[in-house]
Structures are given as structure tokens and as C-alpha cells.
């Protein structure tokens, strides 16, 4: 019996030492990390995030497309050169009996043809001007798409950054609970050693301490995963270690009317919808322009040479030909296909108009929901701050009552759980308020300037 008890105590001491060593390693790893501010994280994302880099390259493509030549203002000039060789065997009989038949082999001839042709459209129903406007809108739409990507990335980085703070706060809450469980374990062991406490209380304290340790270690893993997610957004090595502040500071001075006006004027999704509508309207104009005559100026120069060894006709020749003129073409009837295309383009323009209105309606709904969440979360923060303050006082009182024997282990454990729950609710309320704040700034297109200035 004594040997069995000695073995159990040795196992408990070994388990306690292992847990203590593990917690020390976690703490040592935390201290070795470099601090990372939100501004630094955003700066890294703006420089290295792959989505932003892809969006910037697409802007370059749209910029390259927006040229006078692509719009049709400039002439097209083509040059061509050709050289032909022939080798013939000639057999010819003539009606004139006095002329001897011709029989020659290896008759080599060659000729060359080279020239330049120009085609310059000077009128196509103003289609070239419409094409230029369309290319400008496409370039502007590319920049707007890039802005959407940038603002969404900044919002994602901000959310991931505050998620790390949230998980760190939960780690800290569980660590505090673990310290309390450790004090309770040491106290219950002392009671048991002197005969003032039961073995059941001592074992329950050991079980609760081990359970709190497991929860703490699991939460540390959640924290590390959150850091990996942020490193991924920053397009850098997932194993890079860093630390973040331990608190979330939520703004309380947000003016919804001001942000709502900014949304209507600057939200890139709404701006893009308007640009797509204008592009659709330009498509209608471009198709309508094809109903007008097209006037082209034509010009060219051709240089031809001939070298004939057949023994008759022209032996050598050279021609220099200049040509110029104008061409007028008009589509008189094409099976009403042009009319059909114009009708469909007009319908498509109406679709984009409805989509713009739908985007505006959805954005306003998202804004109202985000502001409602923001306002309610701030109220919850105020309530939970008071609750957590009371709960912290209560756990000190409960521990003192447990120490002097006026409270049971179960009562103290319930107080401890309530304290952890109160702190968790406070953490969640602060995090929810911050996410709603980030969403309001994203919707109003102020996410970049406000996030860089404030944290």
C-alpha cells in the first residue's frame, strides 16, 4: 500500500515538473520574438502581398491598352516583299513555217515584288473617339479593382492582426486561471499533508490544474496558428516570430453620417459598378457608330522587277507604282444583325444600371449592420468591463475564503470559471467592436488612411 502511494506521488511530481518545463519553454519563446505594429504589417502587405502585386500588374496592362493606336486614331502601314524563281523547259511550235520550233531547257526566270500600303480611317461615325473613352474607362476600372484589392487586403491584415491580440488575451486569461489553479493545488496539497484537507480535494485540484494546463497549451496553438495566418497575408515565411500589443483600442468617436457619405462617394465597389455601367453605355454608342459610313484614306508604293531568260518578250523590266485614294464603305443590310447587337447592348446597359443600384443597396445594408454591431459591441464592452472587475474581486475573496476553510473547492472552482467566462466575454466584445470598426472604415473607403494613423 505504501509503495503504491509512493508511486502515485512520484507520477504526480513528474507530471507537474513536465508541465512546468513546457510552460517555461512557451514563455521563453514569447520573449525571443520581435514586436510587430499594425502599421508595419500593413506596409509589408502593401509591398509583398501577391493579390496586390497582381492587381498592380493588371493596371499596367490596362494602361498599355489605352493608346491612340488601339482606339483607331492612327493609320496602319504594312510592308511586304516577295522574290520568286522559276526554272522551265520550253517546247513551242509556231504557225509560221519559216520559224523554227523552240526547244529549251533550264530557262530560269525571277521576279520580285515589294511595296508599302497605308490605310487610315478618318471617319467611322466617331467610333474612334468612343473607343478612346472606353479604353480610359477600362484603365480607370483597373485602378478601381486594384483599390478594392488593396482595401480588402488592409482589412484582412487588420482583422488577422486583431485576431492575434484576441487569442493572446485568451492565452493570458487562461494563464491567469492556471496560476490560480496552481495556487489552489499547492494549498490543497498543504491541507492534505497536515490532515486538514481530504484526498478528494487534492486530486480534484490536480485534475483541474491539468485541465487548465491543457486548455492553455491548446490556446497557445490557436495563437500560433493566427500568427501563421498573418504571415501568409504578408507573403512572408510562416515561421517568422513576432509579438503584438496585449490590448485592443476601439474608437468611440465614429460618426456614421460622415462615413455613410464617404461610402456613397468613394466606395470602390460602387465606383466600379458605375464605371461598368458607363462602359456598357459606350458599347451601345460604339455599335451605333457602325451604322454610319466609314471613310478611309488609302496610299501605297509598289516596286516590281522581272528577269526573263526565255528568249522572247521583255527580258528585264522594273515598275515603280505610287497609288493613293479614298474609300467610303457603309453597311446597307446585314440581315438586321447590327440592329440586334445594338438592342442587346442597350439591354446590357440597363442590366449594369440595375447592378449599380443593387451594389449601392447591399453596401448600405452592410454599413447599417456593421454600425449596429459596432454600437452594441461598445455597450457590451462597458458592461463586461464592469462584470470582469467584479469577477476579479470575487475570485480574490473566494480564494481567501477557501484558504481559511470557509468555502469548498467546488465553490472556489465555480468562481474561477465565472471569472474566466467574464474575461472571455469582455475579450469577445472588444474584438467584435474592433471588427465592426474595421468594416465601417472599409465600406467608407477610409480603411487605409485611418488604419495607418490609428491602431
Q: Which stretch of 96-100, 321-325, 419-423 has the lowest confidence by average pLDDT?
A: 96-100
Q: Are 396 and 444 in the same domain? A: yes
- Give whole-number Cα distances, 20 to 8, 15, 179, 262, 417, in Å: 18, 9, 11, 54, 22
User: Could you tell me if residue 359 is inside a domain?
Assistant: yes
Q: What is the pLDDT of residues 260-274, one digit of tens each?
A: 999 999 999 999 999
Whether 42 is in a domain gets the answer yes
- Are 265 and 378 found together in one domain? yes
Indicate whether 170 and 205 sit together in one domain.
yes
Calculate helix-pair angle for 337-403, 256-266, nearest 10 degrees. Answer: 150
Mean pLDDT calculated for residue range 271-293: 97
> Does residue 8 lie in a domain region?
no
Please list, in sequence order, all residues whose beta carbon lies within 8 angstroms of the beta carbon of residue 186, skipping any fewer than 6 positions away. Answer: none
Pick from 228, 214, 219: which is nearest to 172 by CA?
219
- Do both 132 and 236 map to the same domain? yes
- The residue ranking higher by pLDDT, 308 or 247, is 247
Closest CA to 167 of 398, 427, 455: 427
Short-list 327, 328, 329, 325, CA closest to 299: 325
pLDDT in tens, 174-233: 999 999 999 999 988 888 888 887 889 899 999 999 999 999 999 999 999 999 999 999
Mean pLDDT value across the chain: 89
Q: Indicate if the pLDDT at residue 279 is higher than 50.
A: yes
Q: Are residues 137 and 269 in the same domain?
A: yes
* Number of domains comprising the chain: 2
Q: Based on the fold, state whether residues 242 and 371 are members of the same structural domain.
A: yes
For residue 42, the tally of other CB atoms under 10 A from its CB is 23
Do residues 236 and 355 share a domain?
yes
Whether residue 389 lies inside any domain: the answer is yes
| Cα distance between residue 303 and residue 306, in whole Å | 11
Beta-carbon neighbour count of residue 243 at 10 Å? 15
- Specify the pLDDT at position 6: 35
**Residue linked to cell 483607331:** 72
Contact status, residue 290 vs residue 331, Cβ threshold 8 Å? yes
| Confidence (pLDDT) at 308 | 75
Domain enclosing residue 90, as ranges: 75-123+294-329
DSSP 119-146: EEEEESTTHHHHHHHHHHHHHHHHHHHH
User: For the whole model, what pTM was predicted?
Assistant: 0.84
d(CA 267, CA 148): 9
Q: Residues 402, 412: contact at Cβ < 8 Å?
A: yes
Among 329, 347, 380, residue at a domain's last position:
329
Report how far residue 354's alpha carbon sits from residue 413's, in angstroms, rounded to the nearest whole number.
Answer: 59
Confidence of residue 13 (pLDDT cuts 50, 70, 90): very low
pLDDT at 309: 67
Q: What is the pLDDT of residues 296-346, one digit of tens each?
A: 999 999 999 888 766 556 678 888 999 999 999 999 999 999 999 999 999
Helix (H, G, I), strand (E, B) or coil at 97: coil
User: According to the model, what pLDDT value does residue 12 have?
Assistant: 45
CATH, residue 144: 1.20.1600.10
**What are the cell numbers at 191?**
491541507
Residue 224: the pLDDT is 96
Residue 7 lies in a domain: no
Residues 173 and 228 in one domain: yes
Q: Are residues 324 and 389 in the same domain?
A: no
DSSP run (H or E) holding 88: strand 76-92
Share of the chain above pLDDT 90, in %: 74
Q: Choose between 296 and 95: higher pLDDT.
A: 296
Report the first-to-last Cα separation within the chain, whole angstroms: 62
Q: How far apart are CA 299 and CA 278, in angstroms?
A: 37
Does the pLDDT of residue 8 top 50, yes or no?
Answer: no
Residue 404, pLDDT score: 85
Write the CB contacts of 146 (distance below 8 Å, at least 6 apart in sequence). 52, 55, 56, 58, 59
H-assigned helices in 290-408: 337-403
The answer to whether residues 308 and 189 belong to one domain is no
Residues 130 and 95 occupy one common structural domain: no
pLDDT given at position 135: 97
- The single-letter DSSP state of residue 100 is P
Tens digits of per-residue pLDDT, 137-163? 999 999 999 999 999 999 999 999 999
Angle at 122 between CA 62 and CA 140, to 5 degrees: 20
The answer on 137 and 170 residing in a single domain is yes
In a domain, 174, yes or no: yes
Amino acid at each position: 500500500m505504501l509503495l503504491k502511494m509512493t508511486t502515485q506521488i512520484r507520477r504526480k511530481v513528474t507530471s507537474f515538473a513536465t508541465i512546468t518545463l513546457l510552460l517555461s519553454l512557451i514563455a521563453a519563446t514569447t520573449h525571443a520574438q520581435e514586436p510587430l505594429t499594425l502599421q508595419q504589417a500593413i506596409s509589408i502587405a502593401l509591398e509583398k502581398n501577391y493579390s496586390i502585386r497582381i492587381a498592380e500588374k493588371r493596371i499596367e496592362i490596362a494602361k498599355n491598352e489605352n493608346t491612340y493606336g488601339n482606339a483607331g486614331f492612327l493609320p496602319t502601314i504594312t510592308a511586304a516583299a516577295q522574290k520568286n524563281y522559276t526554272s522551265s523547259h520550253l517546247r513551242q511550235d509556231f504557225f509560221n513555217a519559216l520559224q523554227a520550233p523552240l526547244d529549251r531547257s533550264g530557262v530560269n526566270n525571277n521576279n520580285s515584288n515589294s511595296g508599302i500600303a497605308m490605310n487610315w480611317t478618318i471617319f467611322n461615325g466617331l467610333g474612334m473617339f468612343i473607343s478612346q473613352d472606353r479604353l480610359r474607362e477600362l484603365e480607370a476600372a483597373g485602378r478601381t479593382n486594384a483599390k478594392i484589392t488593396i482595401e480588402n487586403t488592409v482589412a484582412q491584415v487588420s482583422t488577422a492582426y486583431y485576431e492575434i491580440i484576441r487569442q493572446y488575451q485568451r492565452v493570458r486569461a487562461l494563464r491567469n486561471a492556471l496560476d490560480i489553479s496552481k495556487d489552489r493545488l499547492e494549498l490543497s496539497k498543504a491541507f492534505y499533508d497536515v490532515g486538514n484537507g481530504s484526498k478528494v480535494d487534492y486530486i480534484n485540484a490536480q485534475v483541474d490544474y491539468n485541465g487548465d494546463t491543457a486548455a492553455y497549451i491548446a490556446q497557445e496553438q490557436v495563437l500560433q496558428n493566427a500568427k501563421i495566418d498573418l504571415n501568409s497575408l504578408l507573403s512572408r515565411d510562416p515561421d517568422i516570430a513576432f509579438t503584438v500589443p496585449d490590448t485592443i483600442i476601439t474608437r468611440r468617436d465614429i460618426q456614421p453620417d460622415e462615413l455613410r457619405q464617404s461610402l456613397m462617394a468613394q466606395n470602390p465597389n460602387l465606383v466600379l459598378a458605375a464605371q461598368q455601367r458607363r462602359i456598357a453605355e459606350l458599347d451601345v454608342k460604339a455599335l451605333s457608330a457602325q451604322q454610319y459610313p466609314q471613310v478611309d484614306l488609302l496610299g501605297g508604293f509598289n516596286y516590281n522587277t522581272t528577269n526573263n531568260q526565255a528568249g522572247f518578250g521583255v527580258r528585264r523590266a522594273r515598275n515603280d507604282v505610287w497609288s493613293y485614294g479614298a474609300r467610303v464603305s457603309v453597311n446597307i443590310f446585314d440581315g438586321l444583325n447590327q440592329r440586334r447587337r445594338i438592342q442587346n447592348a442597350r439591354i446590357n446597359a440597363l442590366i449594369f444600371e440595375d447592378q449599380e443600384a443593387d451594389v449601392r443597396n447591399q453596401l448600405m445594408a452592410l454599413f447599417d449592420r456593421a454600425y449596429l454591431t459596432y454600437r452594441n459591441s461598445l455597450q457590451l464592452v462597458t458592461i463586461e468591463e464592469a462584470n470582469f472587475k467584479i469577477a476579479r474581486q470575487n475570485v480574490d475573496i473566494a480564494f481567501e475564503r477557501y484558504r481559511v476553510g470557509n468555502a469548498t473547492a467546488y465553490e472556489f472552482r465555480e468562481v474561477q470559471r465565472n471569472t474566466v467566462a467574464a474575461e472571455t466575454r469582455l475579450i469577445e466584445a472588444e474584438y467584435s467592436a474592433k471588427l465592426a470598426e474595421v468594416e465601417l472604415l472599409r465600406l467608407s473607403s477610409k480603411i487605409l488612411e485611418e488604419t495607418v494613423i490609428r491602431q
